[in-house]
Chains A and B, each alone.
Chain A
Amino acid sequence: MDDLRELYQEVILDHNQNPQNFGQIEPATHSGDGYNPLCGDKLSLTLQVQDDKVTDLRFRGSGCAISKASASIMTTVVKGKKVVEVEALFGAFHSLVTTGDTDDGDLGKLAVMAGVYKYPARVKCATLAWHTLKNCLSKKDEVAKTE
């Protein structure tokens, strides 16, 4: 397979073309913005959290295919999960895109992002949505950075 096809999997291109959960929840229980100063990618997340469970979430923003697809896939995976589960997923996702480690059985749909680790410059694109989500859930009212 073309190396870049490993990065730009069909699923990623689909999510880039037709992002899921794109938009804004109003009113939201949690919200936050993410910004990647290197490339200018911006992302806004709004969440509904009830009884420690993320019942709904949506994102808006502009970014490359990797960052947009990552945000879109994240919303589909996170919806309906408990906050503690989301935190565990964050860790698994982070090691997936930085080391290519797919051993964590709970990755599910997130595994399509495995190609990212071979492109260190793109790791920040893939993690922007997740950093923003983490900040939202910890109620930090600051703009998430991908540092």
Chain B
Amino acid sequence: MTVTLDPSNTRTLPLDGAYIRNNFPIFRNRSSKNPFTYLDSAATSQTPQQVVDAVETYYNHYNANVHRSIYAAGEEATEAYESARDKVSNFIGADDSHAIVFTRGATEAINLVAYAWGRNNLREGDEILLTEMEHHSNLVPWQLAARQTGAKLKFIPFSEDGTLENSEASFTEKTKIVSVIHQSNVFGTINPVNEIINLAKSVGAVTLIDAAQSVPHLHMDMTSLDCDFLAFSGHKMLGPTGVGVLCGRTELLEQMEPFLAGGEMIRTVSLETSTWNDVPWKFEAGTPNIAQAIGLGAAVDYLSGIGMETIHRHEAALIKYTLERLEGMDEVTVYGNPPERGGVVVFNVEGVHPHDLSQLLDRDGVAIRAGHHCAQPIMEKLGVSATARASFYLYNDFEDVNRLTEAITSSLKFIT
């Protein structure tokens, strides 16, 4: 693969953004005069042709329900669905100790644990340990679980640079579950989850890692990470919306009560009582998102073909360049400066509210995020009501960064 040079020809990127964008219909459908500078992959990623094709092939050639149809199309659908499960499992380096449950997304995966594990295992006085930098989806389910069970919420604080402060101090013998964001959707911080998981194990707590921002961007190895639960979403990793994953320790999933009940998750049903299907199907009540899961399988193939380490190096080079460019602008304030980070940066431009900025950048085809990024407690701590966020993925390159900074400059001219 060829390399891209920045304008001063002094640095290279591991991936050729233009070559990769050519795999993505949304970029291919734009003329070169009117490029789409997509810098909001932390919200949702774009979809490559390979994933669109996998979904389309299912609908065009073997659309049928899974696990119950006794005819060729149904068997093909079941096989494709189950093979997507295997692909996802291999992608994150899981072995038999963990099972892959398909959910609607990271949010549902976390809720599954908060309900099916939390409500039956938490007691009054127990502690639920989170961090102050959680996405709302790894905060609100635990608030509900705490309210139901009388357990207490505790938070590992973060400091101004966007890294977690000493987490050891937050662990006690009352800590029953530790649920922590792996890569921050605000600062891009890659949190020291190995250390946190080890601390949790030393007090016998169950562990959940919110990997919605890490599985799409980092090489994952579940056998060495060895948390009890890992939650992520397909749509942030080139897959379709409507599918996500809870990777859970099989032994724990077997002990847990079901989350949703209905078809598929049962073994035997009488009018009075039922018995449950095996893990993971016990947690997949009703007809699953078949096409979406198959699409996620194709996304995982695509990402593996390129290599997660390469993708991470690509994003690291892009964020380094972006920070240099943004910090060179007097009007720009960047929040956080974590040493271990992914391709996400939040900032504000003096005199331009992030909502106005986002609206004005759109004129130049630059899409960023503006708002609280589903992390209102972080905004509160930073003392701002909103920020702008740029986030990168494998299809971005230096040109995208240049278009961002040029568009910021022209927005400043426009509004002041």
Which residues on A are within 8 Å of B, measured CB to CB? 2, 4, 7-8, 13, 16-17, 38-42, 62-66, 68, 119, 122, 125
Contact = CB atoms under 8 A, between A and B. Distances in A.
Interface in B399-416: 414-416
Contacts of A39: 355, 370-372, 385-386
B360 A4 contact: yes
A17 B356 CA distance: 13
Question: Nearest 9 CB-CB pairs, A to B?
Answer: A40-B385, A64-B353, A64-B355, A40-B386, A65-B356, A64-B356, A62-B385, A40-B372, A39-B371
B376 interface: yes
A66 B354 CA distance: 12
Contacts of A62: 385
Contact of B371 (A7, A16, A40): A40
A100 B40 CA distance: 31
A68 B385 CA distance: 14
A4 B355 CA distance: 13
A16 B379 contact: no
Given A8-B414, A40-B371, A40-B379, 16 more contacts: A2-B363, A4-B414, A8-B356, A8-B415, A17-B416, A39-B355, A39-B370, A39-B385, A41-B386, A42-B385, A64-B353, A64-B355, A65-B352, A119-B359, A122-B359, A125-B355
6 contacts: A2-B363, A4-B363, A8-B415, A39-B355, A39-B370, A41-B386
Interface size class of B (residues with CB under 8 A): 10 to 19
Interface string B341-361: 000000000001111100110
A109 to B, nearest CB: 20
Residue among B355, B363, B386, B415 with the highest chain A CB neighbour number at 10 A? B355
Contact of B353 (A7, A65, A119): A65
B385 A16 contact: no
Nearest to B386: A40
Nearest to A61: B385
Contacts of A8: 356, 414-415
B365 to A, nearest CB: 13
Nearest to A4: B363
Contacts of A63: 353, 385
Nearest to B363: A4
Given A8-B414, A8-B415, A63-B353, A38 B371 contact: yes
Contacts of B371: 38-40
Interface in B313-371: 352-356, 359-360, 363, 370-371
Given A39-B386, A119-B359, A13 B353 contact: no
Contacts of B360: 4
B40 to A, nearest CB: 14
